[in-house]
Every structure is written in structure tokens, then in C-alpha cells.
């Protein structure tokens, strides 16, 4: 079976393809339309966007024009990190739905526990209000699953304690050398699936000699080893590219990294940053 057809089952029973197409940093318009269309053409059935990426309209249009049934595509979008009120969250969801031109999303996430301008600040109360709004949306069926992104243990614990629905996923920055073990372990213990964004460290890992050596051993590219690594760590992975050649290559990862090589890669902490 093509790896693009492989799925995990979320804690609410929904299935999610384990490779998703990331669209962060792809501008709205021709670029996002073209990239999303290429991903769908080449078998990707899971697309990840966000209101704040500004490209929902083009992503939605590409999905429509693909001719692929909406039900055959897993679509994620996100509530802007700055919105920490119940009403604000409901409004932002409507904006995303209008942008995407769809009746439902498969996954709706709180983009971050704090505004980007004030990383690390405490918004427990606001996150709980936003989460209640996501639960209300989930109850209508217009989001088939709900979750969070960039959450640390403390902010995720607060949501789990205050809510009635346990987040289905936590989407975090995750790549070789940046495996965020504390939050990853916590999520695994609580049946919250980790989604790895920037599995190539936004491109920073591509010239890294330690990973290059492993790639040569397998006759694969650094990108393929890096993406395969995130899958073998049990995450959903969200590589992004605007080039068809890379889009194809990034899903051509039907090989297995041996345990000893996984252990070696696990040991390469703080390899690259971006
Ligand atoms: P581009 O978008 O120009 O194709 P991440 O998935 O960690 O966010 O990394 C995305 C970055 O890595 C983008 O700059 C993208 O370039 C680049 N990239 C994605 N796939 C590959 C690949 N297979 N080979 C080389 N560069 C890649």
C-alpha cells in the first residue's frame, strides 16, 4: 500500500493520513493553489493550513478543483493564537470555513497557547474559553476532531482538566534533534497524537552532515530520512514543499530506518535551529 494511504486512528475514532502536506509559508494565490494541487495530484490526501497562513482561500480552491471527493481529503485549519475568547473563536471558525469554501474541517486546532508576540505567557483562562468554543463546534459536526498546537505540558493539562473532550492531537515543531521529549511523552501517555510540523526544520536540516551520512547509507535523501524518522517516532508528519519533485520525493519513504540508526538520530540533540 502507498504510504500516503496509511492512517492513524485519533482518540475519537477518526482516521488521519500519517503524511500531511504542510502549507505554512506558502503565499495565498498562485503559489498555494499550485502547491496544494500538486500535492493532491501526487496522492496526498491530508492538507494542513491555518487562518494565519493567509492561504486558506487558495488551499480550498485547489481542493475543489482537484475533482477529489471532499470526504477523501483530511483538512486541518487552526484558530489564530491571539484569539482567546469563546465568541472570537466561533467567529474565526466561520471565517476559515468561508475561506476554505467547505462545510466542515476534519481537524480544528488552537494554533498556540500564547500569542506569537508573547511566547510563553500564561493564557490558561483564554485557552479554556477557546477550547469550549472548539468543543461546541465539534458537537455540531463541523469539525470532525479538535486539538491543539504548540502546547506544552502545563497548558495541555489545563485543557484536559477543564474540558469534556481530550484534544485529539498536539501539532508541534518536531524534527531530528528537536523531539521535545517531555511534551511528546505526556501526549503519548494521554492518547494525544503528535503531529510533526517542520520535519525538515524548515529546510535547515538539509545540509546537515550527520543526517547526510545516514542518508547515504540508505541511498535516500536527507529529506527522506528526516521525514521517515518522524514517522518512526510515531508522529503524523507535515512536510512542505512548492516543488513537484520534492512533493513526490517526500512521500517516497517506504523504507525502514534500523533501530541503531534511530538511536543514533535520537542522540543528535540540538542539531539545527531555525
Ligand atoms: P521548497 O518549498 O522551495 O520546495 P519543512 O517541511 O520542515 O517546513 O521544510 C520545508 C523547506 O524544505 C522548504 O524550504 C522546502 O523547499 C524544502 N524542501 C522540502 N522538501 C525538500 C526536499 N525533498 N529536498 C530539498 N528541499 C526540500
Q: Does domain 3-266 have CATH number 3.20.20.100?
A: yes
Grid cell, residue 225, equals 530520512
44, 53, 138, 197: which one is catalytic?
Answer: 53
Residue 17 Cβ < 6 Å to ligand 1 = no
- The owner of cell 517516532 is 233
**Separation CA 194–CA 141 (nearest Å):** 23
Protein residue with its CA nearest to atom 14 in ligand 1 = 203
Q: Is 198 in the pocket of ligand 1 (CB under 6 A)?
A: yes
Question: What pLDDT does 270 receive?
Answer: 86
Q: Atom 1 in ligand 1: which residue has the minimum CA distance?
A: 241
Residue 261 is predicted with a pLDDT of 98
CA of 99 to the centre of ligand 1 (A): 26
Q: Nearest to residue 220, comparing CAs of 195, 179, 257, 193? A: 257
- Residue 226: CB within 6 Å of ligand 1? no
In this structure, the residue with its CA closest to atom 10 of ligand 1 is 202
Alpha helices in the chain (DSSP H): 30-41, 56-65, 86-100, 124-140, 153-162, 181-189, 209-218, 222-232, 244-249, 259-266
Residues with Cβ within 8 Å of residue 135, at least 6 apart in sequence: 146, 163, 164, 165
CA distance 160 to 258: 35
- C-alpha of 120 from chain center: 20
In this prediction, residue 91 carries a pLDDT of 98
In Å, how far are 9, 44, 71, 203 from 222, measured between CA atoms? 28, 20, 33, 10
Helix axes 124-140, 153-162, angle to 10 degrees: 50
Instruction: Decide whether any atom of ligand 1 lies within 6 Å of the 241 Cβ.
Output: yes
Q: What are phi and psi of 201, to 5 degrees?
A: 50, 40
β-bridge pairing 169-173 and 7-9? unpaired
Atom 18 of ligand 1: nearest residue by CA position: 241
- Ligand 1 neighbourhood includes 240 CB (under 6 angstroms): yes
Give pTM, 2 decimals. Answer: 0.98
Give the distance (Å) from ligand 1 centre to CA of residue 40. Answer: 17
Q: Measured between alpha carbons, how far is 65 from 61 in angstroms, rounded to an integer?
A: 6
SS3 100: helix
- Could you tell me if the CB of 242 is within 6 A of ligand 1? yes
Selection from 14, 7, 4 nearest residue 168 by Cα: 14
Task: Give dist(CA 232, CA 173) in Å, integer.
Answer: 16
CA atoms of 105 and 56, how far apart (whole Å):
12
| Mean pLDDT by groups of 10 residues along the chain of 274 residues | 94 98 96 98 98 98 98 98 98 98 98 96 97 98 98 98 98 98 98 98 96 98 98 98 98 97 95 89
Per-residue DSSP letter, 119? T
Distance from the alpha carbon of residue 203 to the mean position of ligand 1, in angstroms: 5
Q: What is the pLDDT of residue 193?
A: 98
Q: How far, in Å, are 38, 194, 225, 249, 254 from residue 44 at the CA level?
A: 9, 19, 19, 12, 15
Question: 125 CA distance to ligand 1 centroid (A)?
Answer: 37
155 C-alpha vs ligand 1 centroid, how far in Å?
30
Is-catalytic flag, 264? no
Amino acid at each position: 500500500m502507498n504510504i500516503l494511504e496509511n492512517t492513524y486512528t485519533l482518540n475519537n475514532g477518526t482516521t488521519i493520513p500519517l503524511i500531511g502536506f504542510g502549507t505554512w509559508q506558502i503565499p495565498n494565490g498562485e503559489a498555494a493553489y499550485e502547491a496544494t494541487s500538486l500535492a493532491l495530484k501526487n496522492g496526498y490526501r491530508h492538507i494542513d493550513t491555518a487562518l494565519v497562513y493567509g492561504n486558506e482561500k487558495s488551499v480550498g480552491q485547489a481542493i475543489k478543483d482537484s475533482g477529489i471527493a471532499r470526504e477523501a481529503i483530511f483538512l486541518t485549519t487552526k484558530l489564530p493564537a491571539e484569539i482567546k475568547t469563546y465568541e472570537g473563536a466561533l467567529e474565526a471558525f466561520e471565517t476559515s470555513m468561508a475561506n476554505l469554501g467547505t462545510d466542515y474541517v476534519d481537524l480544528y486546532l488552537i494554533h498556540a497557547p500564547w500569542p506569537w508576540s508573547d511566547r510563553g505567557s500564561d493564557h490558561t483562562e483564554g485557552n479554556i474559553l477557546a477550547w469550549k468554543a472548539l468543543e461546541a463546534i465539534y458537537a455540531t459536526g463541523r469539525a470532525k476532531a479538535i486539538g491543539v498546537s504548540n502546547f506544552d505540558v502545563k497548558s495541555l493539562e489545563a485543557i484536559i482538566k477543564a474540558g469534556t473532550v481530550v484534544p485529539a492531537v498536539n501539532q508541534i515543531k518536531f524534527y531530528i534533534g528537536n523531539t521535545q521529549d517531555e511534551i511528546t511523552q505526556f501526549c503519548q501517555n494521554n492518547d494525544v497524537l503528535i503531529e510533526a510540523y517542520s520535519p525538515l526544520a524548515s529546510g535547515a536540516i538539509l545540509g546537515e552532515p550527520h543526517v547526510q551520512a545516514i542518508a547515504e547509507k540508505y541511498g535516500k535523501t536527507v529529506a527522506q530520512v528526516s521525514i521517515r524518522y518522524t514517522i518512526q517516532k510515531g508522529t503524523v508528519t507535515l512536510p512542505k514543499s512548492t516543488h513537484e519533485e520534492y512533493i513526490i520525493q517526500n512521500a517516497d519513504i517506504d523504507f525502514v530506518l534500523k533501530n541503531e540508526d534511530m538511536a543514533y538520530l535520537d542522540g543528535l540533540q540540538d542539531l539545527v535551529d531555525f
